[in-house]
């Protein structure tokens, strides 16, 4: 596809890595393209970052016809930039699009426009440990009518933001409240998609948790109100009695790419892993008898985020003694990879992607918890996931 490029005439100053936070600073440009059934995808363009002009009757404003994705580009030690499993984000975007009756993007086209945009903005990719360039593709219905129907005109765009830690606690364990009133999603709904409505509906419970001093909530299923689903906007995993357990994908849980990658890596390393129903009663029992060894969330924004405390019906449980663990962002990030690793370039024109990590070994291995082992295992296998078709 021909992508027109209009460069900004007022480039912004790059921020200091220590001031990044998450999603508050944006790069100089953004990508857009349009869709109509008769024309397919057209008018692909990279333009200076700016406000959108949108019709007051636009479908997205009234009926929530919107989906999005989140992925990251990392600065390697040799100065090059790479993406983590971008094709999986495009595939998940298309699954979300199918559910909300929005047009799908052919995978090759998705890779082409994503690569072009990241190439354009790659200078914004920070190099400090724990930082990355967060990419936010989004798609929304843009019909100029109040009728309720499948969308005819759609806008797809990508924006980018250099980011640091998602949580204000950084890499320290966070406190989580188990939510037993609101539910995030139900089977048959949109829980397995990344649509804005899922996140908007979660804000009330999140606000209640924040008032009580917790970073997020642990969601229970919407039917039985007892099976664990997600933690905040992340997937969740537990180590119970030596086994890594995570809720099975039932249609109401987002199939996270970080989740999938962690499970693949753990299994390849010989860890016992189960995807199954986990009741809050089972978790409470494990917290009571001490078999809950560790708990953590996984997601693109926070990567692997340890849980230090769980609260259920106003009873507090400390996980792993509340001790701090080191996240992948400090143990090892793509920016810390040896630049001498073998590299290759994908047919889609991505930056050279290396095949192996050279992880920095801890000086005192005995001090590292099981979650540390996950981090190092994750890093050791990270490179193979930087492939594109």
Sequential pLDDT tens for the chain (389 residues): 999 999 999 999 999 988 898 999 999 999 999 999 999 999 999 999 999 999 999 999 999 999 999 999 999 988 999 999 999 999 999 999 999 999 999 999 999 999 999 999 999 999 998 899 999 999 999 999 999 999 999 999 999 999 987 766 556 788 999 999 999 999 999 999 999 999 999 999 999 999 999 999 999 999 999 999 999 989 999 999 999 999 999 999 999 999 999 999 899 888 899 999 999 999 999 999 999 999 999 988 777 888 999 999 889 998 877 665 443 323 323 333 222 233 333 323 333 333 222 233 333 333 345 555 555 555 544 555 553 32
Sequence-ordered strand ranges (E) for 13-131: 29-36, 40-48, 66-68, 71-75, 81-83
CB 307 within 8 A of CB 296: yes
| pLDDT at position 387 | 38
Can you spell out the DSSP letters for 143-188? Answer: -BS---S--SSEEEEEEEEEE--SSTTTTS-EEEEEPSS--S--TT
143, two tokens: 């019909």
| pLDDT at position 18 | 87
Sequence-ordered list of residues with C-beta below 8 angstroms from that of 50, at least 6 positions apart, any chain: 30
What the chain holds in terms of domains, given with CATH numbers, is 4-163 (3.30.470.10), 174-324 (3.20.10.10)
Among 274, 261, 346, which residue's Cα sits nearest to residue 89? Answer: 261
* C-alpha pair distances (Å), 234 with each of 14, 154, 298, 301, 377: 29, 28, 6, 9, 20
Sequence-ordered list of residues with C-beta below 8 angstroms from that of 106, at least 6 positions apart, any chain: none
The CA-based angle 138-140-146, given to 5 degrees, is 165
Rounded Cα distance, 210 and 175, in Å: 10
Neighbouring CB atoms inside 10 A of 348's CB total: 17
């Amino acid at each position: 596809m021909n992508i027109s490029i209009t460069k900004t005439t007022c480039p912004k100053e790059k921020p200091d890595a220590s001031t990044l936070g998450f999603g508050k600073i944006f790069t100089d440009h953004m990508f857009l393209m349009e869709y109509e059934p008769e024309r397919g995808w057209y008018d692909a363009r990279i333009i200076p970052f700016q406000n959108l002009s949108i019709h007051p009757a636009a479908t997205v404003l009234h009926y929530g016809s919107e989906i999005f994705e989140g992925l990251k580009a990392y600065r390697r030690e040799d100065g090059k930039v790479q993406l983590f499993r971008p094709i999986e984000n495009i595939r998940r975007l298309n699954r979300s699009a199918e559910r909300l009756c929005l047009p799908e993007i052919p995978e090759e086209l998705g890779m082409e426009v994503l690569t072009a945009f990241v190439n354009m903005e790659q200078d914004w990719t920070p190099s400090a440990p724990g930082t990355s360039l967060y990419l936010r593709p989004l798609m929304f219905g843009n019909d100029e009518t109040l009728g309720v129907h499948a969308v005819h005109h759609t806008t797809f765009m990508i924006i980018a933001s250099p980011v640091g830690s998602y949580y204000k606690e950084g890499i320290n364990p966070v406190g989580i409240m188990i939510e037993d009133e609101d539910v995030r999603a139900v089977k048959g709904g949109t829980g397995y998609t990344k649509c804005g409505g899922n996140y908007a509906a979660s804000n009330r419970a999140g606000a209640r948790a924040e008032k009580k001093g917790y970073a997020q909530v642990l969601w229970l299923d919407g039917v039985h109100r007892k099976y664990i689903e997600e933690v905040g906007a992340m997937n969740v995993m537990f180590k119970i009695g030596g086994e890594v357990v995570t809720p099975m994908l039932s249609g109401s849980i987002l199939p996270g790419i970080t989740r999938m990658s962690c499970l693949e890596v753990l299994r390849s390393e010989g860890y016992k892993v189960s995807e199954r129903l986990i009741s809050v009663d089972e978790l409470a029992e494990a917290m009571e008898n001490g078999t809950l060894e560790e708990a953590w969330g996984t997601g693109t924004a926070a990567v692997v985020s340890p849980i230090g405390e769980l609260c259920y019906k106003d009873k507090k449980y400390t996980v792993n003694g509340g001790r701090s663990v080191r996240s992948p962002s400090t143990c090892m990030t793509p920016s810390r990879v040896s630049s001498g690793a073998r590299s290759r370039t994908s047919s889609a024109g991505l930056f050279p992607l290396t095949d192996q990590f050279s992880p920095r070994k801890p000086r005192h291995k005995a001090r590292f918890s099981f979650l540390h082992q996950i981090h190092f295992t994750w890093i050791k296998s990270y490179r193979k996931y930087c492939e594109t078709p």
